[in-house]
Structure 1
Amino acid sequence: MTKKKSARQLRGQLMLQIAAGRFFRPGFPLNETEHRYTVYSNAWFIGDPPIALPVGEVVASTEMGHISSAMIAIVDRLEQQRPDGTDDFVIATGGTDLVDDLAYLMSFALNRTVSRNHDQTRRLVTGDGAPRGRSANDLFPELFEPRQTVQPGQWDDLRGFMKDLLSLSRDDFARVMRVIRNSVDATRRAPDDPTGAYTDLVAALESVSDDKLSTSVTWDRYDGSKRTIIDAALIDAGQEVADRVRAAVLEAERSGLKRRFISSTLARLSPDYYRDDAAGSIRPPRAPDLERMLGIAYDIRSRRSHVLEDLGEGVWLFTDGAETAYEPSFERVLTLAGLWRLIRHVVRRYVINAEKVAPEPWDYREALPGIVEMQLAPQYWIWQVGGLTAETATRRLNGFAEALIGWIAGQHSDGLPLDQVCQEIEGLVPTLPDGEARTSLIATHVLWHAWVDPTDHRPEASTFIDEYKAVLDAPSTSAFTVSLLSNHPMPTWSADDWVAMAQSRNDTRHTKSQAPLPAVVDALIQLFTADELELAGRHDEAVAFAANAVTELPGNEALVGWEARLVAGDHDPDFDVRTFLFGERKREVSEEPSGHEQSGEPSTEQNEAVTVEP
């Protein structure tokens, strides 16, 4: 079963379904905002204005040039209240995503270009001086051919397609819209980069492949060059063994991406693809050739992706819109026009056959376009209580260290009131086993109290520190961070202890599960280790750890200069750590960062990201 995507993963892809009311709660009031935008097309829209569609309507102009204009009007609908009952401050989106999605659908279903971009449409439709064979009209007949019409029957066809499309599940709808956008965009780029457009069309077609539709080839239709090699290797094997090997090879081929692409595409071709759908096409592909040509198309895409091998110009130049062409390396291949008709047919069949689902309430807000997620500065969340766990322990220490460094450096004046967090730590630490999470929480507690006047320590906090501070005597990145950012003396670990700690940290930095630390702290872990090794006479090892320090803060002049002197044998044991950490504008160490000095209360959400909505 396919895992459903979250609203965040579907951001900007469901606007037409949202506007169609697929996710609203019954009886809840809506904000309705009509957006009107001008679009440009190579088509004359015939029909009584306005031409109504399942979402939006089209009001055509009366001009009859190479390109024409029309007005797309579409109503942006959003619920007035959030699921928690509060009023939603998002009244409407900008509307361009809605209009563009409808324009993409019209281009795809009507085979007529529709776009808000006037200059691009004019260039594609008129050719803009392109030589014969290289214009968009030469590559895609009707799609960019001037003065095309859209008859009432074609509008009905578009309405039926939209109705089926809007009835799909969220994931299926988003999948189809991505294919439509990517394939339409590929046709628009084709005159400038035909090979890139070709591979993009194949990739779009591949994105609707389905393992369930994958089928095996028979041995006599398996790739001839591979079949010859395998048959030669099996010449001395018994018939039963040979049959099993061939069956295994065919099964492996069936599960491959290329076979899935070919099988899925062929399975979604209806009889109409070779009948009414092919009427008027120039050299459409013949059924016995199509499987081989799909394999060639997939190989061309792979070659373009991996070795940037371009197609010969015969695939697209001077084809006069034919759907197949001769290419010396492959003989008969699908052209851009052939891929375009094929993908339009396959996507239509996908939409027709996909499961239709009834509308149901769903919180769509994170799927709206125009939402930007940004990392929230740590001083706005590290003091929040209620979300502290073993899983978030290292992140809390990292946030506090980063905020404290910024405060000492004078980069912000926000207070860091962690007393309530420390009370949480006092309750959580006794329940945790020895390990990184437990040590990080102890380090956070000790570090904050190092900056608070001892006379202000709660008795419980003093008792906690007395009981657990010995944990920070052992080599660890948490212990180093506490000593670095407080008045605690730097640990007197042996050179081997420093190496074990720094090497372990360097190794975990290459994994996703690493505990976060400010970059300056990570750099100083490696630098201090290099310093200890150089003092111990282990120069080569010191140089290696100095290099680690530089790569933690690439381009930092202080680190690069220190490393160069170390390599040259002019070791500087008095690296200016304080200036490196805090810069020239340092606060007086007598000040305390514990006050809550910012005006207004930040959000109380336990989250390190802030969301900015349209």
Structure 2
Amino acid sequence: MLQIGTGKLFTREVEYRNNLKGIIYSNLRLMRDDKIETVGGLLIATDTFRESNVLIYELEEVIEACGEGSGFLVSHGIASFILDFSSILSFALNCTASPSYTLTERLLSNEIGVTTHATPNKVVKQTFDKIIYCQESDKQFLINFTRQLIGLERKTYLGVMRAIQTYVTGMQRIADDFELAYTLLVASIESLAQDFDGHQATWLDYAQNKRRAIDAALSDVGEDSAERVRNAILQNEHTSLGKRFREFAIQHITPSFYREEADQAINPLTCFDLHTTLSNAYLARSKYIHNLKKLPKPVDRDTGYTETCRIENKTWLTLQGLSRLARHIIIQFIMRQPTVEREPYNYSLERSNVMQLKWAPQYWIGRVDFTKGSGVIRLEGFLSIFANILEKTPNESLADLTDLLTQLESNIDSLYKEDKQAFIALYTIYNLILKKSQRLDNAEEFIRKYERHLLSPNPSALITNHIVGLTLNWSIEEHHDCLMKYFKERDNKMCFRCPQIFESGMLLQLAERYREAGEIAKAIELIGKAVENYPSHTCLRKFETDFKTEAKLIESNKILLPQIEVEESNN
């Protein structure tokens, strides 16, 4: 958010200027009346508050003019800005800083972690000290670092902020989980490697054991075909992640890491151990993510600030060493990137508390559109509306599809197969649930003409049969296979997903066929799947219990929509 708040990304004039203020709790101490002015905001000293310092954070937020159209914004508020700046402050000056007093107090306390059995200030130096006095060199570094950071191109800025926030979160986790902290510190480097190393995978990057097996399988295939297969595999594989992590880290280590920055370090990392320690760090990250493996004992404890240790003749980085290395690499990456003064950019969906949601189907379902995928999405949208009506959702009503379906009659044969089936299902369901007087003039003729598309086993036929009761001549095995295929493919492209009430209804419908065939065990299995597909439906769960006691007729509407059955009986 900080970069947005500076106005660097705007394409229109500034409409509002807001002076925002907030409090950052930190162990960083400024001298009385001191302040640090950066492009990301102003830090002002205050008196000590309890055991942690209180810093006042001020920012002039600029808001871009909205231009023509609906909607306007006066301010984002201080929360998102102060969270970003706290992370930058923590990272840049190697301190603790947060708008949360509770978190800061916990990190700076002498409280021992439940799993770590150590206090954070005994694991890494400075970051969790009670007081860190801000030197002039620190102020200047923060000013320069923030200017460079805010000046980055937007894509780079977003990636860097993720790395910084992951690094800071990893440091904070030292208070309660060494393994998670270690993993996050590795991830802070890896995220930059994945996004910005420009790596182009080659076949030699692919895992050797997999490569040999595939090469053997392709031995009798022409070289051109074999190369296409290899390229297709590489496009869908994350190859040599560990190698990319190591190479990126090595490229961003400067001589100062081994010289000025190592002045006060205990057992600092050497250049000849670098490759091994990076491999071990990445291995520890992988073992924790996949198997929750703990760090080796010499790493997983209070190490007296030593940066490296030896385990089975290999050098490992401690949390102290890894934190210094990760911070150095991220800083070097940031400082090497080009900056721009202005960058017109659509940041609307990247503002805090803004999310993108799908329009409810009633706002678009009736619009005439026969492009690829339109039939599938309209059938899915209609089913969601109809399910809400059946389940008595307030203020829900059936959308008017007259224009859409009238034009469909002359366009149906030009559609893709999946869209054609979906549109035929939509046309059939829509007209058959209406009163005869409300149906389209050509409804009966259209349905009779294209009914064959709903008589072969396919998902559109399944839902149409369930809702309007078409007569199907499928075998019970075909019916079962079609329904299971629907569940397997319902989230694929050019497929649709039914509301839970219809999915469980289709399962109950098939269960009834098995009951009639005397296969009670199979019927119970399908009823169980219907329950597990709709866990919140209490009547369905009760029916499952009753059916296991006495196998009786399975009427899906009475089970799933008991309120409708009651209304019909009262009428």
Give the aligned partner of residue 22 of structure 2.
37
Q: Which residue matches 1:583?
A: 562
* Partners of 1:212 and 1:505 in 2: CA distance: 41
**Contact kept in structure 1, 2:118 and 2:301, CA below 8 Å:** yes
**Residue of structure 2 equivalent to 1:229:** none
Where relative contact order (Cα < 8 A, 6+ residues apart) is larger, the structure is 1
1:90 aligns with 2:73: yes
Give distance in 2, aligned partners of 1:182 and 1:547. Answer: 43
Indicate how the Cα distance of structure 1 residues 512 and 466 shifts in structure 2: closer, same or farther if over 3 A, else same: closer
Q: State the 1:42 CA deviation.
A: 1.0
SS in 1 for 2:269: coil
Q: Cα deviation per residue 1:231-288 (whole Å; 9 max; x = unaligned)?
A: xxxxxxxxxxxxxxxxxxxxx9x96222222221111111111122222222221222
Superposed counterparts of 1:158-557, under 5 Å: 158-209=142-193, 212=197, 256-315=240-299, 317-326=301-310, 328-329=311-312, 332-374=315-357, 377-378=360-361, 380-381=362-363, 383-416=365-398, 417-433=400-416, 435-461=417-443, 463-486=445-468, 490-491=471-472, 493-509=474-490, 514-537=495-518, 545-546=526-527, 548-554=529-535
SS of 2:24's equivalent in the other structure is strand
Preserved contact between residue 28 and residue 53 of structure 2 (Cα < 8 Å): yes
Match of 1:102 in 2: 85
Gaps of 5+ in 1: 1-14, 216-225, 227-251, 591-614
> How far off is 1:365 after superposition?
1.0
TM-score normalised per structure 2:
0.83
Q: Which residue number corresponds to residue 157 of structure 1?
A: 141
State the alpha-carbon separation in 2 of the partners of residues 271 and 390 from structure 1. Answer: 57
Go from structure 1 to structure 2 and tell me whether the alpha carbon gap of 1:31 and 1:269 turns closer, same or farther (over 3 Å shift): same
Match of 2:5 in 1: 19
Distance apart, 1:527 and its partner CA? 2.8
SS at match of 1:59: strand
Deviations 1:183-235 (A, max 9, x none): 111111202212221122112222222685889xxxxxxxxxx9xxxxxxxxx
More helix, by proportion: 2
How much has 1:291 moved relative to structure 2?
2.0
Residue pair 1:142, 1:148 contacting (<8 A) in 2 also: yes
Distance of 2:484 and 2:26 partners within structure 1: 62
Residues 306/414 of structure 1: CA separation in 2 closer, same or farther (3 Å cut): closer
- How far the C-alpha of 1:29 sits from its partner, in A, is 3.2
2:54 corresponds in structure 1 to 69
Partner Cα separation in structure 2 for residue 200 and residue 387 of structure 1: 47
> What does the per-residue CA deviation read over 1:376-412, in whole Å, with 9 as the maximum and x for residues that have no partner?
554x336441445340322322222232232133223
RMSD, aligned CA: 3.5
- TM-score calculated relative to the size of structure 1: 0.77
AA aligned to 1:18 is: I
Q: What CA distance in whole angstroms lies between the structure 1 residues aligned with 2:113 and 2:501?
A: 55
Per-residue deviation, 1:130: 7.8
Letter in 1 for 2:419: A
Q: Distance in 1 between matches of 2:81 and 2:369?
A: 38
What is the DSSP-based 3-state SS (H/G/I as helix, E as strand, rest coil) of the residue aligned with 2:558?
A: helix
1:504, distance to aligned residue in structure 2 (A): 3.3
Distance change in 2, residues 1:365/1:578 (3 Å): same
Residue type of the alignment partner of 2:254: S
- 1:443 and 1:519 map into 2 onto residues whose CA distance is 18
Contact 2:113–2:176 (CA under 8 A) maintained in structure 1: no
User: What residue identity is the alignment partner of 1:370?
Assistant: N
The verdict on how the C-alpha distance between 1:405 and 1:114 changes in structure 2, with shifts beyond 3 A counting, is closer
Code of the residue aligned with 1:360 in structure 2: it is E
Alignment of 1:556-571 (within 5 A): 571=551
